[in-house]
Each structure stands twice: as structure tokens, then as C-alpha cells.
Structure 1
Amino acid sequence: MTSRLRMWTLAGALAAGAATPALAGKIVVPEGCEAFLSVQMKECGVSHYWRCNEGPEGAVWEVHYDADGAFSMSVYSAEFQWLDSRYFADGTREHLVEEGPDPASLSELLDTGRDTYAFVIRETGPNGARDVVHQGYDRLTGRTVTIDGTELLETEFASTAMDAESGETVYEVFGNQFVLADERLFFLGPDTFRQDGEERENDASPLLFIRPGETNFGDTMPQFGCEGAEEIVFRPAPAAAARP
């Protein structure tokens, strides 16, 4: 499903601890939780996933880093229903307030090949608060993709976000994503984002799947597509050779 910039709302969980924002280093997960996957992706991003003993059964947390450090943290249900997100740069939060008549269901997608959804997310931040209806569908294309030795199911999706009060379209996005069925996770793929008459092509597809004990597991620095954020290093020109 869409909406992969997300965070957590379990009572007391945020106060108990979170992944440590940093330009480089290793993630630190809350006590009682265990990280199980790091994913390096295109467009200068890396995400880390963990589960917690005291969280809802099957719930998964994700912290996402870009070149500047920790960008967002999110939590999803066992059905990969988006529950809550926090964005570190400005403190914006997006959390589920109403599942609506048709909550997202990964089980439905895997069992039938298609899942529709409609639910309400409340956005709060520097510009105030509003409720946004997210509705759309995910469909398995029947194609299996192998990335870094990991077998993924390809999906086709389309989603529309609408202001719950006015009914006006906030944005639309459509394209492809990937499902890691064994871990019940979605990953971004190539998509098209439309907002305010403008259109943008994105592709944050996964490139590396790193598991506990493997090199670079838990690293917070993205590895791919970060050329624009590389450190600028001044090197003086070589001294001119002395004339004989």
C-alpha cells in the first residue's frame, strides 16, 4: 500500500526510546524490541525494521534515514495498515483515526490478489491539523522479482488522498511496489506522484536486504543515490614548479 513516510502511537512507546538520529552509526531500538531487517534503497534512503514484545501482535516499526539523518518513524499493523508516523524535521505527525469501512489488508491481497482500502489519517503539524481520507487498491501483478537474493511479489497500486472536510484531492499516486510475504512488509517501487497540477516520478526501490549478523546491518547512512549530499572537500591546487 502507499503512504510509506510514517510513525508510532502506542502509549508510552515514544517516551521509552527510539532509534537514535545520526548522520552515521548504528540504530538503537527500544528495550524489549528486536531489529530484524535493514534495507538500502534508491534515492538516498535506508530503513530499519523491528518488532516489540509488548506491541500489538505482528506490528512492525520502521525508522527511515536520508543523508541528513533520521527522517521518520512509523508503525504498521500485522496487516500492514498504516497506524502512525512522525517526521523528525518539523515534528509533523500522521496517525490513524478511523479505519473506515475498508481497512488495508495484506492477507486479502495475498489470498485473492487484490485489496482495496479506505481509512482516515489525521495530520498535525506546524500548519495545524486536518483529517485526510486515503483510498485506493493494491493488486498483485503475478510477477516475482528477485532483488539482492530476496524474492518479492510485485504489486500495482493507485491511491488518492482527499481532505475529509472539503472532499478536495490532496494528492494522487500510482505505480508499483513490492511485498516481502514472509515478513509481511511492503517496499516502495517506481511511482508517479501528482499534486497541485504537478507530476513527479519517483523510484525508491530496495537494492540491498541486510539481516542481523551481516555487514552493514543497522547502518544509518544511505549508500545509493546520495551524490548531491556528499561532503565538499577543499583541496588546494598543487604548487607551481620552480623555474630553473
Structure 2
Amino acid sequence: MNGPEIHLLIAPELHLFIPAEHRHHPQTPTSLLTDGTSTLGHTIESLGIPLTEAGRLLVDGEEVTVAHIPRAGETVGIHPVQRPQHIPGAPLRFLLDVHLGTLARRLRLLGVDAAYESEDIGDPALAALSARERRVLLSRDRGLLRRREIWAGAYVYSDRPDDQLRDVLGRFAPPLTPWTRCTACNGPLREAGKDAVRAQLRQGTQRTYDVFAQCAECERVYWRGAHHARLEAIVAEAVREFGGTAA
């Protein structure tokens, strides 16, 4: 680019997205040549920052939108998304890509509406599904989050499920209603009598447990089995940190 030179102040939280030469102290601007016609949004994406992760944009101290066209000598401050982040226009619901299955199950465990594609259906289909169902697309794929079709999106910053869950809950503050969703298909759970689900239970389970729940959509049956203590610990930690009711 041989156009106007601008000066960028990029928040440290966004440094993981940008080349090393632009990772300066937050009070030390880095210079960038632009083409004089591209929007600020395009310029930000050209640095590697998904627009889903860019919050307030300040030009010489004045707030602007991504449609602003930078001019020579401007100092542009790029801030991270403010947390908790409010997504207007629809109930808060999520869509997770194929690599985030554990996160999807943990969100469902907490009663959060989290659709998940267990097979790789491709970026265009995921983006279209996000738009059609008005779901926030969660992904670690920066290219996917740059697709214009998506309704809303967010980068998942960690590859560790514990940290991923904390990241999403802290960013969006969804209401938590644990034990109300099927972790397999995301459908709602309802109480079920033992007689109603007996045919789906092994004899040992029939003898040992008396309290059951069943998914209203896929009909999977749940009870407080061997893994319940581990799941309870996940629920208790999330409720302690982000609110809700554990029982």
C-alpha cells in the first residue's frame, strides 16, 4: 500500500491476532500505510483481527464505525469487545463449529442453547446457519469469523475446555439453568418416571436409580450415574463464578 499513513494503538488483548511488528506498547502507536479507499473495518481485518473481536474504534479520540475511511495522520485506537457483550436482535443462542464439541456439551449442561455440528459441514453452511437461526457463531477459525454471512460471532481464545467455558460465560453472561438441556442434542429435558423409560435402562441402572430425566427431542435418558460428581463440579464452579442455580 502506498496511500495515507495512519497510526494504530492496538489493545494488548488483540495482539495475538496481529504480526509481531505491530505489537507495540499500547501507548506507542505503530504506523501503517493504507490505500486511501479501504474502510477501517477492512484495514483491521487486513491486520488479522476478526471484526467480531474489535470493540470501540477511536480516531483521534472520536468514536467511529468500521465504515470510516482512514485519512493521513489519523491515530486509530482499536479496543477489544466490552464484556459482558450484548447481542441485540434475538434471544442469546450459540452455534459451535466441529472443533468445539466439549464446549458445546458443557454449555448445554448449564442450560445454554448451544447448537453444534459434529461433522464438518463447511464454512459457508455454518455461516448460513448462523444467519438463518440468528445464533452467535463460536469458533477458533479466524477465516470463518470473517465471513460476511454470519449473524454474529466470537473467537474462542483458548484450546482448553475449562478456559473456553469461562471465556464464553464471561463474554456473553448467558442465563444459566443447569440440568435442563440434553447434552447430546440440545433439546429440553423433562422429568421421567422409571416405568416410562424402563425399556431404555440396563438392569443394573433399574435397580440402582429412581430419578430420571428424558430429552423431549431425542428421548435420551439421564440419571445421576458414575460421572455425575464430575458434572456437578463443572456446574457448581460455573454457578459460583457467573450466577444461576446449581440444583
Structure-2-length-normalised TM-score: 0.20
Give the number of the structure with larger relative contact order, counting CA–CA contacts within 8 Å between residues 6 or more apart: 1
More strand by share: 1
More helix by share: 2
Which structure's CA Rg is the greater one?
2
